[in-house]
Amino acid sequence: MKNIAIFASGAGSNAKKIIDHLKGNPTIQVAAIVSNKPDAGVLKIAADENIPSYIIDKENFFRGDNYVKLMKDLRIDLIVLAGFLWKVPDNLVQAFPDKIINIHPALLPKYGGKGMYGHFVHEAVIAAKDPESGITIHFVNEKYDDGATILQEKCAITPDDTPDTLAKKVQALEHQWFPVIVERLLT
């Protein structure tokens, strides 16, 4: 059995899509949901799906190797960042080389880096009058949004798009592609 840990900070829509997608797969399971926010919606999803969940303590996450040990104890094969808003500490990245992936709501390398998430990305894309946006699924390394690209998918931006309408287009791509890529990486 291959084990996934999903790290998320918010509502958990991508986590839910991954969980639902993998329900029919007898060789892959979501073994843990990890969040840095005790009130994150993803924790309710974990409870509803009977998936163990863990709340990250900031001090311990960035100092020491408690979370490296936890992931190894849980026999995690892939860490999936699904709307996780903290930079992953170097020791966790080094303990899981090419085993941590992230989804970014833009076509990297554009609109990446510290502070570029969610609405901030969509506002920047609209302000730049780009003709397209999309998603980038990539491996995580020690820098923000810098790891090798696994997949990019695009959507057109129309003149009447707003950050909100663009967010919906991008989220549709996330929900379509992220579960597929997670499964592909483990089979």
- The catalytic residue positions are 104
Peptide bond preceding 163: is omega within 30 degrees of 0, i.e. cis?
no
CA distance 129 to 146: 24
Rounded Cα distance, 30 and 51, in Å: 7
Residue matched to tokens 């029919």 = 24
* Dihedral angle of Cα 32, 38, 42, 48, to the nearest 10 degrees: 80
Q: State how beta strands 78-81 and 149-156 pair.
A: unpaired
- Name the residue among 110, 109, 105, 57 with its Cα closest to residue 83: 105
Residues found in the chain: 187
DSSP state of 92: H
